[in-house]
Amino acid sequence: MKIGDILSIEPTLEATSGLGTIGPIPARVIYIHPAGRYYTVEFRSPITGYNWREAFWPKLALHTEPRREPHFDYTKKLKT
């Protein structure tokens, strides 16, 4: 995904868009977080003509391998 790409996404702001639940509509990617944590798209309502933006999380990849390293280094002693 790159900035400027057109995605087909279902908006979550149904009440403000005036669309109800019609399914996915086209949206343009306008921002991607540098670490890829989220992206922002801009919708255009075919009914009202207004634009609005929403942020979405990318789909998470399923990890099939268990983590081998601990989250924290438990070998260091705490200073008391």
CB under 8 Å to 64, separation ≥6 — which residues?
none
Q: Rounded to two decimals, what is the model's pTM? A: 0.64
- 58, 39 in Cβ contact below 8 A? yes
State residue 54 phi and psi, 5-degree precision: -140, 150
pLDDT digits (tens, 9 = 90+) for 3-35: 999 999 888 876 555 556 677 889 999 999 998
Q: What is the domain partition of the chain in residue ranges?
A: 1-80
Mean pLDDT of 29-42: 92
The fold of 1-80 is SH3 type barrels. (2.30.30)
Q: Residues with Cβ < 8 Å from 35, sequence gap 6 or more?
A: none
Q: What is the pLDDT of residue 41?
A: 95
Residues in the chain: 80
